[in-house]
């Protein structure tokens, strides 16, 4: 029912429009200096033919003007459609603000960016969608725009209707609308991803300079870039190293086959991690911990290599000192253990001697046992006094002989030049002709 009434109303309005146009046309005809009916009756055929021709020409002119108007209207409609597509379907946000900061017009992208429909945004202040901490940035932009006709731009954080915060670029230009009222044409862009990328690049730049020596190479292993730590470590500046390969750091302490094996491992597994010798610009070799990493593109081809160098000279010195300390501590513990064992064995010897004196029938067997224990005690005594765990055989033989014959041998020391063990220790079965000048036994 409503549809029928609407069509009837449209038809009535169209009929009224035609009547109005006809009335205006008749008025224009009356105003024209056209001949009356009486005058037409008195005209000659030639004159009538001329008037008829003029009317036909005028009719054709009107038809041509009408066609031109229709074509102009069609072009305007097409232009409006293109404007709608360009404005509303643009990949960035467009909006028009009044002088009071209220949204007058907004496109689809800006509405999607702010999380409301276009109709809901019209009449609202754009400052409502700006993060409170960044309101000052927007205020300064407004002040600059009032003082200058040049476009103004800034970056600030905005808040969607659901409370989500995002980074946006805002560019504003002063203009006038159709009625001559001053407005702002504002372009909005979501730059959150760009900000994240900038932050990642900033962090990467800091890490690149604050880490160990880093070298970046292309797929042909040519050096593209090095950091300051690399220059301090190797002595090569970026200008000196650029375009060369890392072979300028190869040390003669490794064979070419070693380096070839390293690169084969990188190409096979995309990683090599270990220690190797490197050579500085001065020619000095130093131990370094190296990590080589292959970077691949979307097609799986190697695009770059990254090397991480760390000087481990101090680490090796510290490790050597740690081993020395451990060895000294262990030797001290070993000497203490041997000393205590020797003391305990001396107690055992005393018990065995008293037992041998009180039991003559087994004295020979007891003396044999005493000799065995005494030998063991001598060994532990020497090791307890030794600086290291090693004991010279000559020291051991001399000590055992002195222990078994305490009345014949008084002390051990260095013999005079040319003296032999046979001469001063006649009980030792050593070759006659071989001198042992390091240690000797002196008799009472």
Q: Could you please report the per-residue DSSP string of 41-106? A: HHS-HHHHHHHHHHHHHHHHHHHHHHHHHHHHHHHHHHHHHHHHHHHHT-SSEEEEEETTSBEEEE
Beta-carbon contacts of residue 192 (< 8 Å; ≥ 6 apart): 166, 167
Angle between helices 313-358 and 363-385 (to 10 degrees): 160
**296 phi, psi to nearest 5 deg:** -115, 150
Residues 288 and 336 in one domain: no
Neighbours of 154 (CB within 10 A): 15
Last residue of a domain, one of 192, 222, 254: 192
Residues 282 and 342 in one domain: no
Q: For residue 1, tell me if it sits in a domain.
A: no
Positive or negative: CA dihedral 89, 93, 94, 96: positive
Q: What is the pLDDT along the chain (444 residues), one digit of tens a residue?
A: 444 554 555 455 556 655 665 566 555 555 555 555 566 566 667 777 777 777 777 778 777 878 888 888 777 777 666 666 667 777 789 898 988 889 998 888 899 999 999 889 999 999 999 999 999 999 999 888 888 878 889 999 999 999 999 999 999 988 887 788 888 889 999 999 998 888 887 867 776 776 688 899 999 999 998 988 899 889 999 999 999 999 999 999 999 999 999 999 999 999 999 989 999 999 999 888 999 999 998 888 999 999 988 888 877 666 777 777 777 777 777 777 777 777 777 788 788 788 778 888 887 877 777 777 777 777 766 655 654 555 555 665 666 666 555 544 444 444 444 434 443 444 444 443 444 343 333 332
Residues 219 and 151 in one domain: no
Contact present, 98 and 118 (Cβ < 8 Å): no
Integer-rounded Cα Rg, in Å, for the chain is 54
The kind and range of the H/E element at 411 are strand 409-413
Contact present, 157 and 165 (Cβ < 8 Å): yes
Q: Which domain holds residue 291?
A: 211-311
Residues 291 and 353 in one domain: no
Residues 114 and 225 in one domain: no
Q: For residue 70, tell me if it sits in a domain.
A: no
> Among residues 285, 284, 267, which one has the least CA distance to residue 276?
285
Last residue of a domain, one of 255, 278, 311: 311
Residues 356 and 424 in one domain: yes
Last residue of a domain, one of 311, 344, 375: 311
CA atoms within 13 A on the CB side of 142: 14
423 token code pair = 């001469």
Angle between helices 363-385 and 393-404 (to 10 degrees): 140
Q: For residue 202, tell me if it sits in a domain.
A: no
193 token code pair = 């991803």
Give the chain's domain count: 3
Specify the pTM: 0.45
The Cα-based distances of 346 to 400, 407, 437 in angstroms read 14, 18, 30
Residues 303 and 323 in one domain: no
Residues 410 and 304 in one domain: no
């Amino acid at each position: 029912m409503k549809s029928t009434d609407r069509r009837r109303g449209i038809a009535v309005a169209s009929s009224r429009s035609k009547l109005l146009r006809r009335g205006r046309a008749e008025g224009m005809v009356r105003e024209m200096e056209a001949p009356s009916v009486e005058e037409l009756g008195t005209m000659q055929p030639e004159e009538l033919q001329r008037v008829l021709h003029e009317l036909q020409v005028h009719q054709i002119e009107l038809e041509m003007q009408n066609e031109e108007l229709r074509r102009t209207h069609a072009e305007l409609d097409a232009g409006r459609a293109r404007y709608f597509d360009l404005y509303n379907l643009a990949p960035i946000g467009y909006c028009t603000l009044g002088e009071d900061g209220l949204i007058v017009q907004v496109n689809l992208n800006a509405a999607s960016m702010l999380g409301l429909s276009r109709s809901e945004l019209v009449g609202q202040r754009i400052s409502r969608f700006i993060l409170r901490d960044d309101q000052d940035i927007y205020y300064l932009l407004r002040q600059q725009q009032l003082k200058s006709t040049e476009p103004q731009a800034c970056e600030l954080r905005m808040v969607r209707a659901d409370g989500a915060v995002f980074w946006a670029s805002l560019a504003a230009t002063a203009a006038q609308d159709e009625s001559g009222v001053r407005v702002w044409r504002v372009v909005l862009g979501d730059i959150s991803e760009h900000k994240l990328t900038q932050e990642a690049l900033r962090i990467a730049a800091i890490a690149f300079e604050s880490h160990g020596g880093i070298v970046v190479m292309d797929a042909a292993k040519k050096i593209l870039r090095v950091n300051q730590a690399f220059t301090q470590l190797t002595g090569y500046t970026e200008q000196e190293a650029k375009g060369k390969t890392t072979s300028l750091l190869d040390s003669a302490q490794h064979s070419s086959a070693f380096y070839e094996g390293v690169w084969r491992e990188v190409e096979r597994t995309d990683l090599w991690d270990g220690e190797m010798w490197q050579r500085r610009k001065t020619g000095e070799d130093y131990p370094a911990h190296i990590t080589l990493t292959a970077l691949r593109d979307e097609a799986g081809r190697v695009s770059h290599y990254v090397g991480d160098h760390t000087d481990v000279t101090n680490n090796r010195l510290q490790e050597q000192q740690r081993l020395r300390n451990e060895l000294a501590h262990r030797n001290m513990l070993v000497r203490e253990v041997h000393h205590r064992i020797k003391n305990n064995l001396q107690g055992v010897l005393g018990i065995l001697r008293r037992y041998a004196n009180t039991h003559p029938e087994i004295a020979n067997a007891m003396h044999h046992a005493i000799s065995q224990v005494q030998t063991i005690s001598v060994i532990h005594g020497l090791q307890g006094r030794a600086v290291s765990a090693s004991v010279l055989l000559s020291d051991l033989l001399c000590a055992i002989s002195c222990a078994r014959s305490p009345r014949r041998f008084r002390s051990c020391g260095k013999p005079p030049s040319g003296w032999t063990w046979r001469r001063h220790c006649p009980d030792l079965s050593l070759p006659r002709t071989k001198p042992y000048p390091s240690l000797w036994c002196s008799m009472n």
